[in-house]
Structure 1
Amino acid sequence: MTEHFITATHVGDEDVVRTEAYGGVPVRWTTHKWRPEPLVDLIEQAGLRPVAELRLPADEQSGPGLVVMAKRPG
């Protein structure tokens, strides 16, 4: 059985403090944005091998997105 690691993030350089979620729900959290290359490097440093990457365009609610799937070597 092959095990995969899948993660997704918003793309960017700055963190964003959120006070409203989708639909206007009040929240308090920080969105930590990543650039694709440093995130993939971190995944590789963890001993995983990226096997797929999906870059999503920006939409009206958020900036561009990134999804990375990786697996254990071997």
Structure 2
Amino acid sequence: MMIAYRLITEDDTSEFCHRVTEALAKGWALQGDPQYAFDASRGVMRCAQAVTKTTNTTYSRELKLGQL
């Protein structure tokens, strides 16, 4: 048994919400509050949300976390 961790990041658009919602629909759980920061080089707000999922998968660096 392992707990997988992902940090979903995206510009502050509906795409960020869709990515987080997709993770939740696939059994991932929110961890903490979403975070926001201004990317001065691009002039946009960026969002981040940590998510975790308990799985029977064995850890490997080649593991594609988004596919769990």
Shorter-chain-normalised TM-score: which range?
0.5 to 0.7
How far apart are residue 48 of structure 1 and its match? 0.2
The structure with the larger Rg is 1
Kindly report structure 1 stretches of 4+ aligned residues shifted beyond 6 Å: none
- Offset of residue 35 of structure 1: 4.4
* Per-residue Cα deviation, 1:41-70 (whole angstroms, up to 9, x for no partner): 221012100113211135242311011110
The alignment covers a number of residue pairs equal to 53
Q: Which has the higher helix share?
A: 2
1:61 is paired with a residue whose SS is coil
5+ unaligned residues in a row in structure 1: which ranges? 14-33
- Give distance in 2, aligned partners of 1:40 and 1:48: 9
- Give the alignment's TM-score, normalised by structure 2: 0.56
Identity among equivalent pairs (%): 6
Which structure would you say has the larger RCO, counting Cα contacts within 8 Å and 6 or more residues apart? 2
TM score, norm. by length of structure 1:
0.53
Is residue 2:50 matched to residue 1:12?
A: no
